[in-house]
Amino acid sequence: MRGVVLHTPGDVRVEKRPDPMIIEPTDAIIRVTAACVCGSDLWPYRGVEKLEGPVPMGHEYVGVVEEVGSEVTTIKPGQFVVGSFWASDNTCEICRSGYQSACVHRVLMGTIGTQAEWARIPLADGTLVATPGMPDADLIPSLLAASDVLGTGWFGAVAAQAGPGKTVAVVGDGAVGLCAVLAAKQLGAERIIAMSRHAPRQELARQFGATDIVTERGDEGVARIKELTGGLGAHSVVEAVGTQESMTQAVRSTRPGGHMGFVGVSHDVSLPGDELFFSLVHLHGGPAPVREYLPELIELIANREIDPGKVFDLTLPLAQAAEGYRAMDERRAIKVLLTP
Amino acid sequence: MRGVVLHTPGDVRVEKRPDPMIIEPTDAIIRVTAACVCGSDLWPYRGVEKLEGPVPMGHEYVGVVEEVGSEVTTIKPGQFVVGSFWASDNTCEICRSGYQSACVHRVLMGTIGTQAEWARIPLADGTLVATPGMPDADLIPSLLAASDVLGTGWFGAVAAQAGPGKTVAVVGDGAVGLCAVLAAKQLGAERIIAMSRHAPRQELARQFGATDIVTERGDEGVARIKELTGGLGAHSVVEAVGTQESMTQAVRSTRPGGHMGFVGVSHDVSLPGDELFFSLVHLHGGPAPVREYLPELIELIANREIDPGKVFDLTLPLAQAAEGYRAMDERRAIKVLLTP
C-alpha cells in the first residue's frame, strides 16, 4: 500500500509500505477513508523533535473495518469507525476512570502511521467507535476531526472546566484551539475569548462560538484578558500551543482558583514552582483521552449539532501529502485532510 | 509590647515593638493568646529566603479581641477569634469563590508579626472567625493549628480530592503534612499513606489516620507508592514540603487522571512541561484559603472530633522564641507553640 513517510525534517514522501496485517488477535485492519496532518506532526517536520530514521506518519483516521482478529468481539467488518491516536483497551482501571490516553496497555498510533491506505488498529474493541450506519460524505471531515483535534480541544475545555457562567479564554488558534472554542460553547460557557491574529481563524472562532477576539500576545495578551474580566482573569483558560510563551500566558490569564487546561504538546517548557504556587490556578492537561468523548462527539456530529470539520480548509489526495505539510507549516492552511 | 524579630538568619530576638493601633477603620486589635513558629518561618531563618533588615515574625494566631475599628460590624471586643495568615475581606468575587488567600484586598499577616503580645488584624470582619464562647484551655493548640497548618493541610487534601474510595499519599511529615493526613481521614479517604522516616511523626500520622507508612524517598519512594497501588500510583497526593525533590516525587506518585495538591511553599522548583503533560495529573495548590475552612474546622475542634493541636510537641513562653526556632530547625520539635 502507499503511505506517508517522513525521511528527514521537511522531507515528506508518499511511498510503498507493507500492507498491514493482523498481528495481535485484538487488532483490526481498516481501509482509511480520510486521514490528516496534525499540528504535532509539524514538530518532527520542523526538526524540533528528533527523528531516528524515516518514520511512517499520521495518527488521525476514520475508515471502514476490513478485517478483525479472533478476539475482537464488538467491532465488525463493514462498520465505519472513528478511533483515537492512542489505542486503548477501555477496560483497565485507568481507562474506566476516563483516561484512555494513559491505558495500561496503550499503543501510540503515531508509531503505526495512518496517513496511508490501510491501517492496523490495536485493541480494536477498546479503541474504535462505530458510527450509526454509513455516514453521509459531508460528515467525514467532522468525524475525522473527532479522532483528534475535536477530542483534544474538548478535553482542554473540560480540563479548564468550561461551563455555564464561565468566561473561557483559548490560547492558540490552530485546529485544536478552534475546537476548544466549539467545545466551550457546547459546554455552555457564557463568554469565549479566542486569542488569534489571523482573520480566517478569527472568523472560524466566531462561527464556533467565540464572543471576543484578542489579538495581543504574551504580557499584552494577559493584560487584555484581565481588562475583559474585571481585572481578575478568566475562569477557564485552554492552552493549545505547547510553548513556554503560551503556557506562561495561559497561567497568567487564569484567575486565582480558576482552571487551566493545557493540550498543546509541551516542548521545552519549564514552569516555575513559585509562579504556579502563587497563581492558585488548577492545572490539568496532557494527551487527551479522546476515546472517552468519542461516543458523545459522534452523536453530536451525526445529529449535525456541531460542524468541527470546518477546521479542514485544504483537502488533498494522499499523493500530495508533502504539499499538505508545507501548507500547514507555512500557516496557509489550518488543517489538511488527506484522501487515500 | 514584646514581639519576635528576626535580625539576620539564625538571629531571633524577643524585643520591644510598638503597641499595635487601629490604622484602618476595618482593623481589630487582638491580645494574642497563642502564636507559633511555622515551617515557612524557617526559610528566612535558614537564609534561604533573603531578609531585608530586621523583620517582625509570625502569621499564626488565636486571641481575644481588644478593640475594633469604626467599620467593624460582626467582630466584637471580648470574642475569642481565629484568623488566617492572609487577611481577606471575604466579600470580593475571589473570596466568594473560596480563594480568600487571593482576595483582591488581601494583607499578608507575616508583614505584621503575630509572635507578639498583641496584633493588628486588618479586614477583621472578613478575616476573623469567633469561636462559640470562650474555649477550654486544652482546645487552644488545636484552634491555633486551624489558623494555618490544619487549614493548609486541609486545602492540600481538598486540592488532591481526597475522599471515599481514594488512596491518598502525603509527601512531607511536618505539621502541614500530618494535618493533611488528618484531613484526608476526615474527608473519608480509604487508605492514607504517610511518607516519613521519623518515628514520632510516623506515630502521630497513624493517630491522625494513616494506614501505611513509607520511609523511602525520591524515586524509591515513588516505586513504593506504585507497589502499594497496583502499579498505578495514588489517586490523590498531597505535597507539603516545597522542594524540587518533593514536588517531583509527588507528581510521579500520582496516577494518570489523579490529583496532586501542593501546599509546601515552593522554593527553587521548576516543573518540566513535558513531564506534567504526559503525567496527566491534576495539579492544584498554593497559599491555602484557610478562611474558607475555618468555620468548619472550628466546629470540628469545638466538638472534639479532631485534635490537630497534637502537632505542637513543644510549648515555650514567647521570651524563649529563639529556642523554639532552633528546635524546629533541628527537627527536635514538629511545631512550637509560643505563649505571650
pLDDT single digits (tens) B115-144: 999 999 999 999 999 999 999 999 999 999
How far is Cα A301 from Cα B116, in angstroms, rounded to an integer? 66
Task: Collect all residues of chain A within an 8 Å Cβ-Cβ radius of residue B101.
Answer: 256, 280
State which CATH number among 3.60.9.10, 3.40.190.10, 3.40.50.620, 3.90.180.10 fits the domain covering B2-148+289-339.
3.90.180.10
Per-residue model confidence (pLDDT) at position B143 = 98
* Interface contact flag, B278 A287, Cβ < 8 Å: yes
Interface probe for A, chosen from B283, B290, B291 (most Cβ of A below 10 Å), is: B283
Taking residues B304-324, report their average pLDDT.
98
Taking residues A12-24, report their average pLDDT.
97
Per-residue model confidence (pLDDT) at position B77 = 98
Taking residues A301-311, report their average pLDDT.
98
Per-residue model confidence (pLDDT) at position A110 = 78
Taking residues B87-116, report their average pLDDT.
95
The angle that helices A244-253 and A218-228 make with each other, rounded to 10 degrees, is 20
Percent of chain B topping pLDDT 70: 100
B247 to chain A: nearest residue by CA? A273
Per-residue model confidence (pLDDT) at position A145 = 98
Summarize pLDDT for B54-67 with one digit per residue, the tens: 999 999 999 999 99
Per-residue model confidence (pLDDT) at position A112 = 86
Copy the grid coordinates of residue A260: 487551566
Interface probe for B, chosen from A103, A254, A283, A292 (most Cβ of B below 10 Å), is: A283
A92 to chain B: nearest residue by CA? B232
* Interface contact flag, A273 B285, Cβ < 8 Å: no
How far is Cα A53 from Cα B263, in angstroms, rounded to an integer? 45
Whether B322 has a pLDDT exceeding 90, the answer reads yes
Whether B12 has a pLDDT exceeding 90, the answer reads yes
Per-residue model confidence (pLDDT) at position A324 = 97
* Interface contact flag, B255 A94, Cβ < 8 Å: yes
B277 to chain A: nearest residue by CA? A286
A103 to chain B: nearest residue by CA? B256
The alpha-carbon gap from B16 to the nearest alpha carbon of chain A, in Å, equals: 33
As separate numbers, helices (DSSP H) first and strands (DSSP E) second, chain A gives 12, 19
In chain A, CATH 3.90.180.10 sits at 2-148+289-339
Whether B337 has a pLDDT exceeding 80, the answer reads yes
How far is Cα B46 from Cα A297, in angstroms, rounded to an integer? 55
Per-residue model confidence (pLDDT) at position A109 = 87
β-bridge partners, B12: B6
Whether B50 has a pLDDT exceeding 80, the answer reads yes
In this prediction, residue B204 has a pLDDT band, given cuts at 50, 70 and 90, of: very high
Whether B286 has a pLDDT exceeding 90, the answer reads yes
Whether B70 has a pLDDT exceeding 80, the answer reads yes
* Interface contact flag, A286 B278, Cβ < 8 Å: yes
Say if CB A194 and CB A202 are below 8 A apart.
yes
Taking residues A223-245, report their average pLDDT.
97
Per-residue model confidence (pLDDT) at position A229 = 98
How far is Cα A160 from Cα A87, in angstroms, rounded to an integer? 25
Taking residues A176-192, report their average pLDDT.
98
Whether A250 has a pLDDT exceeding 80, the answer reads yes
A104 to chain B: nearest residue by CA? B232
Pairing of strands B129-130, B80-82: antiparallel
Per-residue model confidence (pLDDT) at position A50 = 87
* Interface contact flag, A284 B285, Cβ < 8 Å: no
Amino acid in position A115: Q
Task: Collect all residues of chain A within an 8 Å Cβ-Cβ radius of residue B249.
Answer: none
Summarize pLDDT for A56-70 with one digit per residue, the tens: 999 999 999 999 999
Residues of B with CB under 8 A from a CB of A: 93-94, 97-99, 101-102, 104, 230-232, 242, 244, 247, 255-257, 262, 265-274, 276-287, 289
Per-residue model confidence (pLDDT) at position B328 = 95
Percent of chain A topping pLDDT 70: 100
ipTM comes to 0.95
Assign domain B153-285 to its CATH superfamily. Answer: NAD(P)-binding Rossmann-like Domain (3.40.50.720)
A287 to chain B: nearest residue by CA? B278
Residue listed under C-alpha cell 477501555: A90
In this prediction, residue B217 has a pLDDT band, given cuts at 50, 70 and 90, of: very high
- Report how far apart, in Å, the C-alpha atoms of B108 and of each of A144, B100, B244, B252 are: 52, 11, 25, 32
Taking residues B182-199, report their average pLDDT.
97
In this prediction, residue A53 has a pLDDT band, given cuts at 50, 70 and 90, of: confident
Whether A103 has a pLDDT exceeding 90, the answer reads yes
Whether B318 has a pLDDT exceeding 90, the answer reads yes
In this prediction, residue A296 has a pLDDT band, given cuts at 50, 70 and 90, of: very high
In chain A, CATH 3.40.50.720 sits at 153-285
Task: Collect all residues of chain B within an 8 Å Cβ-Cβ radius of residue A278.
Answer: 286-287
Task: Collect all residues of chain A within an 8 Å Cβ-Cβ radius of residue B285.
Answer: 276-277, 280
In this prediction, residue B166 has a pLDDT band, given cuts at 50, 70 and 90, of: very high
* Nearest Cβ partner for B97 among A247, A257, A272: A257
Whether B110 has a pLDDT exceeding 80, the answer reads no
Whether B71 has a pLDDT exceeding 90, the answer reads yes
* Interface contact flag, B232 A98, Cβ < 8 Å: no
Per-residue model confidence (pLDDT) at position A111 = 80
Long-range contacts of B265-268 (CB under 8 A, 24+ apart): B265/A277, B265/B40, B265/B43, B266/A273, B266/A274, B266/A276, B266/A277, B266/B242, B267/A273, B267/A274, B267/B43, B267/B48, B267/B49, B267/B242, B267/B243, B268/A273, B268/B243, B268/B244
Residue listed under C-alpha cell 504574551: A218
Whether B111 has a pLDDT exceeding 90, the answer reads no
Per-residue model confidence (pLDDT) at position B325 = 97
Taking residues A90-102, report their average pLDDT.
98
Say if CB A85 and CB A60 are below 8 A apart.
yes
Say if CB B147 and CB B82 are below 8 A apart.
yes
Nearest by Cα to B325 from B132, B260, B316, A93: B316
How far is Cα A101 from Cα A107, in angstroms, rounded to an integer? 9
Q: What is the mean pLDDT of chain B?
A: 97
Whether B53 has a pLDDT exceeding 90, the answer reads no
Least confident window among A166-175, B103-112, B183-192: B103-112
Burial of A330 (0-12, 13-18, 19+ CB in 10 A): exposed
Summarize pLDDT for A258-292 with one digit per residue, the tens: 999 999 988 899 999 999 999 999 999 999 999 99
Per-residue model confidence (pLDDT) at position A282 = 98
